[in-house]
Each structure stands twice: as structure tokens, then as C-alpha cells.
């Protein structure tokens, strides 16, 4: 795994916030409690809904909290690629294409090597099985002739050895890099781009994130977020969370329904909001970044039989 330097870039494409580098994805999840959602599919299986790959799409709340705390910055991918490739010289383009061809040839050679190893292993197992049969039963003349014919179908030289193809006969694999860096250089940090627009539930998300919780979209449970005490791959979620404005009215039946649903799936229903009348407090990040926040108050509701 490669090293990641903060702040790392978040690609903004068509209003969506994406991470393409697997090292950055792993780092953000491990260090900053950021899960996101994998949305990458295979070209010939665009309707697949399992085993999705990169890129990782971040919720606007996830992108914003990373930016506010100085861990990441936004990159306008369309503008960056347009300028970068227009300014790239022809020599640099050819050098990069040659580099990709070399990677493809190495991948092709590795595939060929593994294929030869599997073939040699299969032939070795066949020879061992034949020798065991001959040891116990003894070869009949017709069987010996038959075995000799079968072996000649695989190789007329040394048993279990396949002739190696020359490098010139190999067709390089086509390599599709997941990122554009290289050949482009990472764009400089630009703090002038606007922060991601976030819903009214963002103060609750930011508050739970600051307490070390992991959050994922809660649409399937009818709430804003599903809150986990640790990585969702290791822990069961504890809360179904809904963020509200401080003076927002809500229906009591929604509270009852949320509490019953949460209890039914072994979670608690969490309501929370930011107090706009309270004085803002400056929070300091480990990397020196500071952000002003107001207190958030939360209520946990659990349905219980009396």
C-alpha cells in the first residue's frame, strides 16, 4: 500500500465527489471514518449490484467534513484534465504510452507463466497417477501403447515441460489505469472552490463523525444515516439517525415509527440538531485546521414494552 499525503484530492465530476485512488480510499476509511459507496461496474455487466469497484462516491457530508478539517481538497476534474492534457508535450504522451505497453507486456508474461505452471502441475499429476496404476496392476501391451500415444499429444520432449513462448509472440494486455496521476501531476491545493452543498442534517453527521462514529446512507431505513460504532465491516450499526433543524416541528407518529423500526432491527432511533443560538466553538484538527461549530443536541429513542 502506498503512502498518502494530506490533504488529498477529491474529484468533483458532474456534482459528485469521487475517489479513484485505492490507497486514498483505504486511508480515508481507516483514518477518517469515511466509508463512501463503491459505484464502479464492469463494462459488460453494467447492471451488476454486487462486487462493485472504484471509484468510491462520497456523500456531500463526507466530502465536506474532510475538507473543513483540512484532510482533503476539491479538484475540478474536467478543468484539470482539459488543461493538463492540452499542455502535455507529444514526447511525454508517447513516453507514457510506451510505459503502459511495458506494463501490459509484463501482465501478459505473468499470465503466460501462471498458465504454464498450471499445465505442468496437471501433467505431473497425470504422470503420477499413471505410475501408481502401473505399479499396482502392471501395464498391458495395449495400455502401454495407449499411454505413449496420450503423452505424445501433450509434448514429445521432456514430460511435464512446456516450451516457453518468446516475448515477441506475446500480445500485451490493455491496461486501464484508475487514476490520471501520472501522467498528470497532482493539482495544487485550491481553497477557492466552494464547499459541497450539504443537507440540513449535516450538523448531526459532523457531530457523530467527531465522536468517532462511521455513517452510511440510511435511505433503506427511512432515515438520513445509519450510525456504526466502528467500521461497518466489523460492527453492527447502533443508530438510525435523522437530523432536524432546531425549531423544526415533527410528527409524533414519525418518532413512534422510527423508534419501533429501530428496535425491530436492533438499533436505536436518533434525533439531533444544531442550536443556532449558542455561541460557536472553534475545533482544532490534528493537522492544524480549525472550524467553527455550534453545539448539537441528540436524543436516542428506543421502543420498549411496559
Which residues are annotated as catalytic?
228, 236, 267
The answer to whether 293 and 281 have CB atoms below 8 angstroms apart is yes
Stretch (H or E) spanning 162:
none
Helix (H) or strand (E) holding 9: strand 8-13
The CA-CA-CA angle for residues 18, 19, 24, to 5°, reads 160
- Dihedral of the alpha carbons of 38, 39, 41, 45, in degrees to the nearest 10: 120
| Residue 13, beta-bridge partner list | 16
- ∠ CA(52), CA(56), CA(96), 5° rounding? 95
Integer CA distances (angstroms), 9 to 74, 76, 181, 190, in order: 6, 10, 11, 10
Q: What is the C-alpha separation between 173 and 25, in angstroms, rounded?
A: 26
Contact 49, 112 (CB under 8 A): no
CA gyration radius, the chain:
29
Q: Is 12 helix (H, G, I), strand (E, B) or coil?
A: strand
Q: Please check whether residue 203 is in contact with residue 296, taking contact to mean a CB–CB distance below 8 angstroms.
A: yes
And the C-alpha cell for 12? 468533483
Q: Which are the contacts of 288, defined by CB distance < 8 A and separation ≥ 6?
A: 70
Amino acid at each position: 500500500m502506498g503512502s498518502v499525503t494530506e490533504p488529498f484530492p477529491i474529484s468533483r465530476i458532474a456534482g459528485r465527489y469521487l475517489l479513484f485512488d485505492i490507497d486514498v480510499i483505504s486511508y480515508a476509511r481507516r483514518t477518517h471514518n469515511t466509508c463512501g459507496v463503491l459505484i464502479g461496474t464492469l463494462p459488460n455487466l453494467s447492471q451488476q449490484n454486487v462486487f462493485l469497484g472504484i471509484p468510491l462516491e462520497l456523500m456531500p457530508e463526507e466530502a465536506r467534513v474532510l475538507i473543513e478539517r483540512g484532510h482533503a481538497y476539491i479538484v475540478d476534474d474536467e478543468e484539470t484534465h482539459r488543461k493538463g492534457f492540452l499542455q502535455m508535450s507529444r514526447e511525454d504522451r508517447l513516453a507514457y504510452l510506451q510505459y503502459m505497453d511495458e506494463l501490459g507486456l509484463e501482465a501478459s508474461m505473468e499470465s503466460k507463466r501462471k498458465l504454464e505452471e498450471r499445465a505442468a502441475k496437471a501433467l505431473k499429476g497425470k504422470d503420477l497417477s499413471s505410475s501408481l496404476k502401473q505399479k499396482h496392476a502392471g501395464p498391458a501391451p495395449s495400455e502401454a501403447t495407449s499411454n505413449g500415444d496420450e503423452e505424445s499429444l501433450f509434448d514429445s520432449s521432456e514430460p511435464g515441460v512446456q516450451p516457453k513462448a518468446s516475448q515477441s509472440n506475446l500480445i500485451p494486455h490493455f491496461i486501464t489505469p484508475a487514476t490520471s496521476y501520472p501522467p498528470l501531476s497532482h493539482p495544487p491545493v485550491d481553497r477557492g472552490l466552494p464547499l459541497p452543498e450539504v443537507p440540513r442534517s449535516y450538523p448531526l453527521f459532523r457531530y457523530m463523525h467527531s465522536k468517532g462514529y462511521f455513517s452510511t446512507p440510511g435511505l433503506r431505513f427511512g432515515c438520513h444515516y445509519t450510525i456504526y460504532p466502528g467500521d461497518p465491516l466489523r460492527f453492527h450499526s447502533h443508530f438510525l439517525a435523522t437530523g432536524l433543524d432546531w425549531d423544526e416541528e415533527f410528527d409524533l407518529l414519525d418518532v413512534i415509527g422510527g423508534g419501533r423500526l429501530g428496535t425491530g432491527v436492533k438499533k436505536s432511533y436518533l434525533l439531533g440538531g444544531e442550536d443556532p443560538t449558542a455561541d460557536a466553538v472553534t475545533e482544532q484538527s490534528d493537522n492544524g485546521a480549525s472550524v467553527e461549530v455550534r453545539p448539537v443536541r441528540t436524543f436516542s429513542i428506543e421502543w420498549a414494552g411496559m
